């Protein structure tokens, strides 16, 4: 065709495209279906009973099975990628992930973000973007709020701005800010639902659980999961592109690692039925297809809830490890020289609070 | 067992089993569910907003999310394989693919075909079969009509018939023959739904978009998709068989390539929310697991619709390319010597019309 | 953390943990959804029409599509793994699998087992555990009952018990014990639904069908299926663990092989629309990703049903074969030296009864 000429297609934002206070209304709202939940089970092997059976959900006070908050998080996160992190070098961290109210099948979520911090790197080629993202349901009700920061490329040749506005981020979501779903009542919970596992009152701070099972990631597993979340970051999908990267292969979406670790943690923390907050998280090292993921959890705090004899809050540090058994490793996180250093086989360090049977 | 003896099992039709005017009622009617849609998202990464959220579908005039016409096409196509193309050497082309009315979750489709052409090849071993296939819903209403032609083996030792009846096929579906869903009204569409992308009025004929993202096909991806469509062509599934073929490995179902290219095209054509027709299509070269697929679209025509200020028809040529960037290739389609010749990395050439926000 | 110390996590039962008469209430009840059915189609390629279309189910007397009994079996089986076979060396066999009543989408099943036999092995390291498992729906109605036996590790250093209580197991489920769903009426069945295939009256005892199609197992296929069934046996998922096993790689869940063979058997037995019993079954050899599975069926018995002109019971032996064509193999099962010996490419030997159009 003689008059053919190339038009540019959307590329996402570069570091120099962001401004403090900028509002981003992310595209492609998403109705969550029961099929999302089923596929999530098939992708992760999760067995947390509240999300597996209507009878269990009913016994826990819900009219129907609520959506797993990890699934909700990935869908909401996926929405932000097209604007925030399409040009990301690395996903550096999360903070203040709060789940305000449960979602159910047929709910539609829409996601927007505000830029809350920008810090140019001294190399002149990249900068760190901090965003505060909010997911709302079809009634406009807030369901999820989270902050994250990513290192993003500058446009080629972009001038230095010297911007250095790092926001104040809390290291945890306070108990007062954590929502307990109003329906949740566990007096009728049957211990058999969750394999007669330990409850909050059976744990003490410092207890560490190696969750024993391992799960090997297949290429299709993480590709299907990441597409399900409509996360379109190229590093997860384009082997032709990644063949020329430092790693030479596609990176597994870090959120898939979070979900695998959560699923593995059923074996030991099966009574931690609801996720009320993720305090902080980082992907310490990349994962690839072929890696086998293990998880280990350490109890950081156990908090009673006034007026509730059925549940307690259990704060946990969950580490993801690849191709290694944490019980045989010299260290996972090393603080020896005053700086946090992760073993190269540690792929995830995340702190979260579970609502657990008391 | 002494009295054991082998009975033959169905093998599909051979070239010499077909007759002009023959009617084929294909087996296994199929109810489309919302899970098909979810799985389609996970398999392709599609983000066309009309199929992602009830809120968006409602804003577009639909009571619920309509089924993606590409998914509908694959399910209908799959039904024809067991009769038409189980003994196919190659799937040669498509023409006149028309979508008459939208389908919704819980609709059941049944498919029948009529043989409209037969052309024996001079090698005496194969021939080309032309069929006109129609998919109807549970109310008997036509939802999809398409023509395709395949090269099919003759039975071993079948006599020459010399048949050479090639049907007249239109090179395009005229605008008059394209259906706009009666519900469709985009006055309430929010630009954020589709990432504030270009609309029909922002394009002109000749505009070409390289859709930037690439997607690497994993063996499970295409196997899952092809099984979901209940397409049982052996070349896609049986590695033991294919190890002895020219290619030595399983072929990816061409329809999966179409869907990947469509999904990739969201980045640039995200406002082309509805597929009203596929005018013609061919799988120029085979794809295999491990290939990374890219897509490029060129605007062929933009047609206003009388009385409609919200939408226009945008006719597009979409090319699928594997393991290569079309912007760096010397040619994609070469007409130099009077014959259409494709670059070996071009895997798909399809012309289709999108209903696009105006 | 200074006070960090490891707590043990659940490991499943060892041979010496079981006692005759012991009742096990398995965890994580499971609501079956239409998405399970869709995913099952995508994982296996099954085309049995009763489970594919509401119109077909209606024509067969059902108000909605019933759940495929093979899917039901895998979900129920999966529930037992965490208690019964987490420390299994091998899954030795099944007997007396009876389907009492159909399940439908939205039904919830819960599973319990009773230990009915224990036989210590002379090596002092393992023993065989026999269990009788029952799956009930949310109304407490029995839907499925089955017996299986597995070889399970003893705890390291466990004392010898010399126990040798092998239960009496029937070699088949009698016709009187097989349930025909009360809704099932096939007078309105259209032959086109199931591709105009042979009916019960077209078969005689000894007829053998090689089902022709083959299906190559990808790593993600069997992983997704096994996770969907929430079967958490480590041998299927943990490549890091299995790298040190005799086979060096993950084993495919035997139930996935059953489902693939069933799906392949559509081509020839497509009118065997309902599974009323599995009489016996064994996984003769292991399967791995990359294997191509074929299936062959031999008719063992055809039984008329009093008062029913529409259906008959067809008892079949179904063999699964990997990477080989049974028609070209010297033997599949060899009884020559008085002992049953399987060809190393035979992976499944199962006897089942189908309700078939008469």
Of A205-209, B4-8, B199-203, C140-144, minimum mean pLDDT range: B4-8
Please tell me whether the overall predicted TM-score, pTM, comes out greater than 0.80 for this model: yes
**B209 and B126, same structural domain?**
no
pLDDT at B122 over 70: yes
Which of B152, B169, B186 lies at the terminal end of a domain, its last residue? B169
pLDDT in tens, B189-208: 999 999 999 999 999 999 99
Mean pLDDT of A232-257: 96
Total number of domains in chain B: 2
| B357 and B257, same domain (yes or no) | yes
In the prediction, which pLDDT does A290 show?
98
Which residues of B fall within a CB distance of 8 Å from A108? Answer: 53-55
Phi, psi of B240 (to 5 degrees): -60, -40
Neighbours of chain A (3+ CB pairs under 8 A): B, C
Same domain, B155 and B202: no
Residue A77 lies in a domain: no
Examine residue B57 and state whether it is found in any structural domain, yes or no. no
pLDDT digits (tens, 9 = 90+) for C314-347: 999 999 999 999 999 999 999 877 888 999 999 9
A329 CB within 8 Å of a chain C CB: no
Are B237 and C214 an interchain contact pair (Cβ–Cβ within 8 Å)? yes
Same domain (yes/no): C72, C203? no
Chain C residues in contact with A210 (beta carbon < 8 A)? 6, 9
| Residue C349 C-alpha, separation from nearest chain B C-alpha, in angstroms | 14
Q: What percent of chain A has pLDDT over 70?
A: 99
Q: Who contacts C248 (Cβ-Cβ below 8 Å, separation ≥6)?
A: C242
pLDDT at A51 over 90: yes
User: B239: distance to nearest CA of chain A, Å?
Assistant: 18
Burial letters C300-314, b for 16+ CB under 10 A, else e: bebeeeeeeebbbbb
Mean pLDDT of chain A: 96
- What are chain C's partners, defined as 3 or more CB pairs within 8 angstroms? A, B
Q: For residue A314, what is the domain's CATH number? A: 3.10.129.10
**Average pLDDT, stretch A152-171?**
94
**Rounded Cα gap, residues C96 and C275, in angstroms:** 13
- Which three-class secondary structure state does DSSP give residue C194? helix
CA B258 to chain centre: 6
A324 burial via Cβ count (<10 Å: 0-12, 13-18, 19+): middle
pLDDT, tens digit (0-9, with 9 covering 90-100), for B217-232: 999 999 999 999 999 9
Distances, alpha carbon A129 to alpha carbons A157, C165, C253, in Å:
19, 67, 45
A1 pLDDT exceeds 80?
Answer: no
C6 touches chain A (CB under 8 A): yes
List pLDDT tens digits, range B76-98.
999 999 999 999 988 889 999 99
Share of chain C above pLDDT 90, in %: 94
Of the partner residues C45, C65, C324, the one whose CB lies closest to the CB of residue B230: C45
The verdict on C230 and C99 lying in the same domain is no
C75 and C205 within one domain:
no
Residues 280-299 of chain C with CB under 8 A from chain B are 290, 292, 294, 298
Cα distance between the two ends of chain A = 70
Nearest to A35 among C38, C83, C219 (CB): C38
Beta strand B30-31 with B108-120: parallel, antiparallel or unpaired?
Answer: antiparallel
Tokens of C76: 């129920």
Residue C42 maps to a domain: no
Query: Tens digits of per-residue pLDDT, A165-194?
Result: 999 999 999 999 999 999 999 999 999 999
Q: How far is residue B73's CA from residue B40's CA, in Å, rounded to a whole number?
A: 12
A10 located within any domain:
no
Residues 229-258 of C with CB under 8 A from B: none
What's the confidence (pLDDT) of residue C313? 98
Same domain? For C221 and C259 the reply is yes
Which residue, of B120, B146, B169, is where some domain finishes? B169
Same domain, B309 and B245: yes
**Out of A70-84, A258-272, C327-341, least confident range:** C327-341
R_g of chain B, CA atoms, integer Å: 21
Task: Kindly list the residues from chain B whose CB atom is less than 8 angstroms away from the CB atom of residue C52.
Answer: 28-31, 230
Q: How far apart are CA B147 and CA A311, in angstroms?
A: 62
Q: Is the pLDDT of residue A327 over 70?
A: yes
pLDDT at residue C2, as a whole number: 60
- Pair (C90, C160) in one structural domain: yes
Residues C208 and C356 in one domain: yes
Question: For residue B2, what pLDDT band results from cuts at 50, 70 and 90?
Answer: low
DSSP string, A294-350: EEEEEEEEEEEETTEEEEEEEEEEEEEEESS-GGG-S-SEE-TTSS-EE-TTEEEEE
What percentage of chain C's residues is helix, strand, coil (to nearest 5)? Answer: 25, 35, 40
Position C47 pLDDT exceeds 70 = yes
**Beta strand C30-31 pairing with C108-120:** antiparallel
Residue C209 lies inside a defined structural domain of this protein: yes
Express each pLDDT in A288-312 by its tens digit.
999 999 999 999 999 999 999 999 9
Give per-residue burial for A298-322: e unless 16+ CB within 10 Å, then b. Answer: bbbebeeeeeeebbbbbbbbbbbbb
- Residues C100 and C189 reside in one and the same domain: no
Measured distance CA(B352)–CA(B341) in Å, rounded: 20
Instruction: Look at residues B169, B204, B219 and tell me which one is the last residue of a structural domain.
Output: B169
Q: Is residue A290 part of a domain?
A: yes
Give the pLDDT of residue B149. Answer: 97
Q: How far is CA B87 from the centre of its chain?
A: 19
Rg of chain A on CA atoms, in Å: 21
C241-275 pLDDT, tens digit each: 999 999 999 999 999 999 999 999 999 999 999 99
- pLDDT for the residue numbered C1: 56
Q: Which has the closest alpha carbon to A166: A198, A207, A121, A200?
A: A121
Burial class (CB in 10 A: 0-12, 13-18, 19+), A124: exposed
pLDDT surpassing 70 at residue A2: no
Residue appearing with tokens 């008719």: C299
pLDDT digits (tens, 9 = 90+) for B236-251: 999 999 999 999 999 9
Cβ–Cβ contact A127 with C under 8 A = no
Q: Are residues B177 and B165 in the same domain?
A: no
What is the pLDDT averaged over residues A25-44? 98
Distances in Å between the alpha carbon of C352 and those of A61, A120, C99? 42, 68, 11
Nearest alpha-carbon partner for B256 in B284, B224, B281: B224
Short-list A133, A118, A225, CA closest to A166: A118
Rg (CA), chain C: 21
C29, C230, C232 member nearest A213 (Cβ): C232
Enumerate residues 185 to 224 of chain B having a beta carbon within 8 A of any beta carbon in chain A.
192-198, 203, 205-216, 218-221, 224
- Terminal C-alpha separation, chain B: 71
Determine, yes or no, domain membership for A172.
no
Average pLDDT over residues A140-146: 98
Give the range of the structural domain holding residue B23, as residue numbers without chain letter. Answer: 9-32+67-169
Would you say residue C264 lies in a domain?
A: yes
Q: What residues contact residue A100 under an 8 Å CB cut-off, 6+ apart?
A: A141, A142, A143, A144, A145, A179
Residue B1 has pLDDT above 60, yes or no: no
CB B65 within 8 A of CB B105: yes
């Amino acid at each position: 065709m003689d008059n053919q000429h190339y038009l540019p297609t959307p590329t996402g934002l570069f570091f120099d495209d962001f401004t403090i206070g900028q509002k981003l209304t992310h595209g492609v709202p998403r109705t969550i279906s029961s099929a999302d939940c089923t596929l999530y089970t098939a992708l992760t092997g999760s067995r947390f009973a509240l999300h597996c059976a209507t009878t269990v959900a009913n016994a826990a006070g819900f009219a129907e099975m609520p959506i797993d908050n990890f699934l909700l998080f990935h869908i909401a996160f996926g929405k932000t990628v097209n604007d925030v992190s399409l040009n990301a070098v690395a996903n550096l961290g999360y903070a203040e992930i709060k789940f305000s109210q449960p979602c159910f099948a047929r709910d539609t979520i829409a996601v927007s973000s505000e830029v809350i911090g920008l810090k140019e790197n001294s190399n002149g080629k990249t900068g760190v973007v901090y965003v505060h993202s909010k997911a709302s349901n079809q009634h406009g009700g807030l369901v999820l709020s989270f902050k994250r920061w990513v290192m993003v490329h500058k446009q080629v040749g972009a001038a230095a701005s010297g911007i250095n506005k790092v926001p104040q981020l809390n290291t945890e979501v306070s108990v007062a800010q954590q929502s307990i779903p109003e329906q949740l009542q566990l007096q009728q919970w049957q211990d058999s639902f969750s394999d007669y596992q330990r409850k909050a009152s059976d744990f003490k701070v410092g207890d560490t659980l190696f969750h024993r099972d391992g799960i090997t990631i297949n290429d299709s597993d993480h590709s299907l999961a990441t597409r399900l979340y409509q996360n379109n970051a190229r590093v997860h999908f384009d082997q032709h592109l990644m063949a020329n990267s430092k790693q030479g292969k596609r990176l597994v979406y870090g959120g898939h690692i979070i979900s695998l670790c959560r699923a593995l943690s059923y074996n030991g923390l099966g009574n931690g039925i609801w996720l009320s907050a993720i305090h902080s998280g980082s992907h310490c090292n990349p994962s690839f297809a072929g890696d086998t993921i293990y998880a280990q959890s350490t109890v950081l705090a156990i908090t009673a809830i006034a007026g509730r004899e059925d549940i307690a809050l259990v704060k946990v540090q969950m580490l993801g490890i690849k191709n290694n058994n944490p019980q045989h490793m010299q260290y996972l996180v090393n603080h020896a020289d005053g700086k946090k250093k992760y073993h190269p086989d540690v792929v995830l360090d995340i702190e979260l609070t579970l609502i657990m049977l008391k």
